[in-house]
C-alpha cells in the first residue's frame, strides 16, 4: 500500500462511517465530515476558539462556526466566553452525554459495511481489522468520540 492508496481507503472509510450514523433531526446528513473534523479537533484541543479550529483543520471559519453550532445544539460541545477576550467564545466537549450522542454511539456499522462490501460474508473480518486499526492509530480521547 502506498500513500495514495491509504488516503483513498481513508475516504472510503469516511463514507462508510457517514452511512452508519443515524441522520440528524429532520433527516439531514449534510456537513457530517466538517462536524466530525471539528469535534475531533475540540476533543484534542479543549477550550479553543473557532478561528484556532479553522487554522488547525484547514476548514473555512464559517464552516467551523456552523459545525460548532450543530454540535452545541446536539449537546456534544459547550461554549463559554474567553476570559482573556470576551469577544471570542471557547469551545470544549460537553461533560455529559446528550440524547443525540447516545443515539450515534448506539448505531452499529454492520449495515453500512454490508452495503459497502456487497454482502455480509466479510463484515466480521473487516470489523476486526477496523478495531485493530482504531486501537493502534486513534488517541485514547478519540475512541469515545461523540458525534453531532
| CB distance 81 to 127 below 8 Å | no
Alpha carbon of residue 69 to chain centroid: 14
User: What pLDDT shows up at residue 103?
Assistant: 85
Note the pLDDT tens digit of each residue in 8-39: 999 999 899 988 988 766 555 556 788 889 99
CA distances from 35 to 27, 29, 38, 146 (A): 16, 11, 5, 11
All domains of the chain in start order, with CATH: 3-143 (1.10.10.10)
Residues in the chain, pLDDT under 50: 141, 143, 146-148
User: What pLDDT shows up at residue 30?
Assistant: 53
Amino acid at each position: 500500500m502506498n500513500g495514495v492508496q491509504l488516503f483513498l481507503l481513508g475516504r472510503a472509510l469516511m463514507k462508510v462511517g457517514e452511512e452508519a450514523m443515524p441522520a440528524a433531526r429532520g433527516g439531514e446528513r449534510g456537513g457530517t465530515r466538517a462536524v466530525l473534523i471539528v469535534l475531533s479537533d475540540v476533543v484534542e484541543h479543549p477550550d479553543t476558539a473557532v478561528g484556532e479550529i479553522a487554522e488547525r483543520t484547514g476548514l473555512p471559519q464559517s464552516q467551523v462556526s456552523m459545525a460548532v453550532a450543530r454540535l452545541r445544539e446536539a449537546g456534544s460541545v459547550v461554549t463559554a466566553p474567553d476570559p482573556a477576550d470576551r469577544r471570542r467564545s471557547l469551545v470544549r466537549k460537553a461533560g455529559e452525554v446528550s440524547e443525540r450522542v447516545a443515539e450515534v454511539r448506539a448505531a452499529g456499522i454492520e449495515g453500512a459495511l454490508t452495503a459497502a462490501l456487497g454482502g455480509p460474508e466479510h463484515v466480521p473480518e473487516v470489523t476486526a481489522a477496523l478495531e485493530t486499526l482504531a486501537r493502534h492509530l486513534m488517541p485514547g480521547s478519540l475512541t469515545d468520540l461523540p458525534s453531532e
